[in-house]
Structure 1
Amino acid sequence: MQSREESIERIKGLFNITITAFDQNGDVDFKALSENVERVIDLGYDGLLIGGTYGEFATMSADERANVFKAVMEQVGDRVPVLLCSAHSDSRVVFELTKLAGDLGGLPMVTAPYVSEVEDYHIHDFFTRVAPLSKTGIMIYNAPGIGITLSPKLICQLAEIDGMVALKQGDLNPTAVDILSGNLHGKIKMLAASDLALLGPLALGFDGVSSTNSCALPELIHAIFHAIRSGDAQEAGRLQRLWYPLRVLARKYGQPQTTKAIMNMRGFNGGSVRLPLLDLNETQKAELKETLEKVASDPDARITLA
């Protein structure tokens, strides 16, 4: 992407939140990253999200994140749109990574600064300052799990800032989704931030969804998304219910951990998580494997086990 206009045109559909595979030494496994990117592109995913919350950006240095940005953009080129998370507690790092993301042709995804006693006017000023740094525009990332939960009122105000082209909405409370859909539909692009609850936002007019579990269950998530997009809500709901037992464990043990564990069970290279997170222990993996096998026993789940 080379402009805000192109970002507005292309940010829609099903985005894979690509995990960052770490090897046994704790280093980024760029070979695994490349393989995981190609898998979802080959399956027809509409875009990628690199270095997000479940990409464990908070455990990585600014240089590591920049190198991941560069490697992915060199590999992907212009084949699919790429969201590049430039969030950080240090605004200087945000500014640096945001400019880099835009220069590389990605769309930088920016959270509110997560420091203490931040008021709405601080957040508005921050986004006003970061907006001009990216030639491709800015995606507002409302990420309750890593900091401040932006209210629908504030998000609507931020959307008026020149350069805001999209929103990734992590607060999927039905009331918040309803307000945002009613006020911002057609003004900026909106992605639901989680595949744990994707049907409601899409039915209300969100432009797409980002999915971490699509790293582990890419065929099933793809089928669910396209069922709802084709207007078959009943089929989408049926397919979504198929993997509910896995969602229970994802909420219980954490998505980076369970996602990577399932990937490894399927013969994909999920690698390990970084501290302070911990890989699943043997008891947890046994529970996850048993649940995965039960879900995979239904052919409609489209899950093949290694």
Structure 2
Amino acid sequence: MISQSDAKLLNDTAALADVRGRSLWEDARRRFFRNKAAVAGLFVLIAITLFAVFGSYFAKYEADFVDFSLMGANAYQGVPSFSSGHYFGTDIDGRDLFARTVQGTGISLLVGIVGSLVAVIVGTLYGATAGYVGGRTDGTMMRIVDILMSIPFMFVLILMLVIFGRSILMLFIGIGLISWLDMSRIARGQTLTIKNKEFVEAAVATGVSPFTIVLRHIIPNLLGIVIVYATLLVPQMIIFESFISYLGLGVQEPNTSLGALINAGANQMSNGTLWMLLYPLAFFLVTLFAFFFVGDGLRDSLDPKDR
């Protein structure tokens, strides 16, 4: 017959064994899925991504198709209607807003994800190298970062688009190669705490080259911080792209983005055509909040101090 105290001890032992048997990533996954806001944000992001990828198959019209019957004197009559096939209505030029919202969502997501990937890759490699090498090299590399951070980001991006041309490629290059500065500081700070660990000293003792140590030992241990920062960086990239497109310097016709659609809708608010603004604005806000919720959930689940 097992007493109540013995049963409690067995349960505690089993729970402890379960905790010890879980890996770091398994524990993080469980923490993440216990965060209801983060899980909801993840499902919303999946839904938005599916909308951007497959939404064009459900559109009755192409994004650049012009309905001439809804131009001129009838320019503001293209209200949202399922019977007409214009599910979100039409814009001022008679183009289907549903198809253009699908296209704009896809381009905004692409700019945000690619821009954040460029920033994370460049910033992580730069910061990890500076932190591991140390000394004068570290000081010189981080002073370069300080100088670059003193230059207004938006000014440089606008100047690049004006000089080299307005295109999606320049948005990728401009946003990604300038926004890596914060990531480099984060990676350097984490590297300073990792480079004196036993596994790094063991690699040095066995004759592993510094570059290999950075790639195989330092950077893999930065993945938690990098993933969190990348998730929080994507909405920042989308905001930058939307602002640039709002100024008319971003994605050019016939392509569009959420920022360009919001700009076009805002210009027509006085004409009583709120659907031109509300639909792209709703997708823009929902996407941003979803990324923020997922980023906060990842930060909480991967934070070693909270484990």
Give the alignment's TM-score, normalised by structure 2.
0.26
More strand per residue = 1
Higher-RCO chain (CA-CA 8 Å, sequence separation at least 6): 2
